[in-house]
Amino acid sequence: MRTYRQGRPPLSRWWLVLNLLWPVGLFACTSQDLVLKGWWISTDITHPSPFFSETLTDDKSKSITLSFDEAGGFEWRDRKEVCHVGVYLVQDHTLVLTDPHGETIILGYTFEEDQLRLKSPDGFIFDFRKVPPQADAAGANPCNQ
Amino acid sequence: MGAEEEELKSKIRRLVKERFDGDFRKGFDHYGKIDEEDAKIGSSALEQLLTDAKVGNFLTRALWVEGVLKVLDKDKDGAISWDEFESILEDGPQIKDETGKEPEDDIPSRDK
């Protein structure tokens, strides 16, 4: 008869728990990617420092367009129509963006329905709302729409 | 001076120290040539300067450029002149190394 050290679950139970949990973890990661995928328009940009107060109130009507695709790519068109492209990765509660030069930004992010909030390491907070793709053409993105 | 402004000046002073031997005029002339705006630092040169100084990131650097121009560009011509750039030296914090310690050698004089 097999015996187990008292107080510790047998290895087979750990194996069972692991087998039950990995699809949950995979679903969590995949579902976050699915929520993120698509087009986003900025609704507000803020920074706690008064250093940026004038900058951020200027051109308030102009917004940032952001898109995430299924292949792990992102496009960010800023308020001056300058485009930044690269790849993204969702890790726990952070979004890792890397540009073609290898510069990486780790952003904090939160979702609430169709709202996305990104927190840049230098203090900027970007609020976005999800929007339908802005062009019908296949492969359209913020940088070539 | 706010924390952002202090950090900005500290990083620019460190850049000048590391890349231009602490010579602000040499640093200014280097970036002043990028935009060819009559020996002034225009917005694209300023963006390069901020990238080199590790200020902001590729998503926020344009916002930093706007913020810096609002602070330093006193005559509002959209570029930073030597006199405006020189103000970074005024009342600036000491450069701190990665450990937070201040270096033994001081910032060179602006007369250089």
- CATH number of A32's domain: 2.40.128.270
pLDDT of residue B109: 43
CATH of the domain at B72: 1.10.238.10
Q: Is residue A145 part of a domain?
A: no
Domain of residue B48: give its range: 3-89
pLDDT computed for residue B63 by the predictor? 92
Q: How confident is the model at residue B9 (pLDDT cuts 50, 70, 90)?
A: confident
The residue of chain A with its CA nearest to that of B65 is A55
| A104 found inside a domain | yes
Question: Cα separation of B60 and B58, whole Å?
Answer: 6
* Residue B108 included in any domain: no
Distance CA A59, CA A44 (A): 11
Domain presence at residue A110: yes
Q: How many domains does chain B have?
A: 1
Segment among A4-8, A87-91, A109-113, B75-79 with least mean pLDDT:
A4-8
Number of domains in chain A: 1
Residue B21 belongs to some domain of the structure:
yes
pLDDT band at B31 (very low <50, low <70, confident <90, very high): very high
- Cα–Cα distances (Å) from A133 to A126, A140, B86, B102, in that order, read 19, 8, 47, 51
Q: Is residue A109 part of a domain?
A: yes
Best of A47, A55, A66 to disrupt the B interface by mutation (most B CBs within 10 Å)?
Answer: A55
Report yes or no on A49 lying in a domain.
Answer: yes
Average pLDDT, integer, range A41-62: 87
Domain range spanning residue A100? 11-131
Whether B2 and A51 lie within 8 Å, measured CB to CB: yes
Contact A46, A56 (CB under 8 A): yes
* Partners of residue A78 in chain B, C-beta under 8 Å: 59, 62
- CA gap B35, B24 in Å, rounded: 18
Task: List the one residue out of B75, B93, B78, B74 whose CA is nearest residue B8.
Answer: B93
CB contact under 8 A, B59 and A56: no
Query: Is residue A138 in a domain?
Result: no
Residue A47 resides in a domain: yes
CA angle A96, A102, A108 (to 5 degrees): 20
Residue A1 maps to a domain: no
Q: What is the pLDDT of residue A12?
A: 73
